[in-house]
Structure 1
Amino acid sequence: MRLLPDELVAPERFGQFVSVGVVGAAFDLAVSTGMRELGVYPELAVFVGIEVAVVVMFLLNDNWTFAERGVDGLAAGLRRLARSNLVRIGGILVQLGTFSLLYRAFGVEWTLAGLDAWFVVSKVGGIGVGMVVNYVAESLFTWRVTTE
């Protein structure tokens, strides 16, 4: 009995997902750090950055990582986007929780090149933990990778 579908643990698909995640992380970090530097409350800046990244990553995953899994058409794509957002709620909460724990509990004062470097480090920590949750959830529920 297999616990995980072969497609879920396939190195190529996981590599594509991670590559898309790197692009999403860049959008996430740019948006959230920019907002934070403009004085936006840290957790709100993080949430907006996450949502921008979710949309960017969905579009990339839908057209590359899981391209053969989706039904064509705008309505089907919008349903997958809505499902992706719902599925990612767990990963978003994990990412926000990890960020808050690192940023607030450890509260390191560290500025680098005029930026709150501890904010960025905490964001990267949250992204890393959230990525694992998102990969499994997206594979199983958004693109319905199965053992069959």
Structure 2
Amino acid sequence: MLFRRLFQRFVLPFFTRRFLKFAIVGASGVLVNLGCLALLRALSVQINLASAIAIELSLLSNFAVNYLWTFRDVSGGWLRQALRFHLVCLGGAVFQFSSFVIMNVVWMLLLWSGDARTEYFAGADTMFERWLWRPLMSPPEVGAWVFLSQLIGIGCGMVWNYLLNFYWTWSVHKRAEPGGEHVS
């Protein structure tokens, strides 16, 4: 009985027309996100700041399209839903941004020579400085690998964003859902 309830609550929502719409909107958000990252990188914006701005702009575009298309049949007030969506997606954004920073350090460790890594970490005397402060304030330059880092981060935030938005922002579980038929 418990397994069935958990399955219905956390697995079945991914097999609906609504999830397909959410995924399509998410794919457009990926394009917004990566496009903004590329533009800001070309403008020489610090890469972590560029990532954060790209995340925020993709959140705003995703809300607008989800509001107008994916969840257009759900009432509840635009402002309330916008605030809830943003609050939920901030959790996903933390997952995405953290993954982005971590993956850029991973690429640096894998791709840079020992001397280059030593130079990057020079003056970072504590674990905090070495593994948190330096990657946040002076991220390693890993070239085009930043786009893979951003994609990995997007994947990390997607499940969180969908489930919390499905159940809280638009409160779909509280009513019969026209778009909730199972997809075969």
Same fold, TM-score > 0.5, yes or no: yes
Larger gyration radius, structure 1 or structure 2 = 2
Change (3 A) 1:119 1:18: same
Distance 1:6-1:68 versus aligned 2 partners, 3 A rule: farther
Pick from 110, 131, 139: which aligns with 2:166? 139
- Contact preservation (8 Å) 1:80, 1:142: yes
Distance 1:120 1:6 in 2: 29
- Separation in 1 of the partners of 2:74 and 2:144? 39
Aligned residue pairs total 140
* Distance of aligned partners of 1:79 and 1:7 in 2 relative to their CA distance in 1, 3 Å threshold: farther
Find the partner of 2:144 among 97, 114, 117.
117
Any conservation in 2 of the 1:95–1:129 contact (CA below 8 Å)?
yes
RMSD: 2.3
Q: 1:6: Cα distance to partner?
A: 8.1
Question: SS at 2:73's partner residue?
Answer: helix
List aligned pairs for 1:1-148, cutoff 5 A: 1=1, 2-3=5-6, 4=9, 8-71=13-76, 76-107=77-108, 116-146=143-173
Shift of 1:105: 2.6
User: Is the contact between residue 7 and residue 13 of structure 1 (CA under 8 Å) also seen in structure 2?
Assistant: no
Taking structure 1 as the reference length, what is the TM-score of the superposition? 0.84
Query: Within 2, Cα distance between the matches of 1:6 and 1:40?
Result: 40
Q: Aligned letter for 2:163? A: V
Distance in 1, matches of 2:73 and 2:15, equals 15
State how far apart, in whole Å, the 2-side matches of 1:11 and 1:79 are: 24
Matches of 1:36 and 1:48, distance apart in 2: 11
Query: Which has the larger displacement, 6-15 or 54-63?
Result: 6-15
Ranges in structure 1 where 5+ consecutive residues have no aligned partner: 110-114
CA distance in 1, matches of 2:16, 2:144: 33
How many angstroms does 1:101 deviate by?
0.9
Q: Match of 2:89, as an amino acid?
A: R
What CA distance in whole angstroms lies between the structure 2 residues aligned with 1:5 and 1:144?
A: 14
Hey, what's the Cα distance between the residues in 2 that align with 1:49 and 1:128?
Answer: 15
Kept after mapping to 2: 8 A contact 1:6/1:147: no
Residues 51 and 37 from structure 1, CA distance in 2 versus in 1: closer, same or farther, beyond 3 angstroms?
A: same
Equivalent residue number for residue 133 of structure 2: none
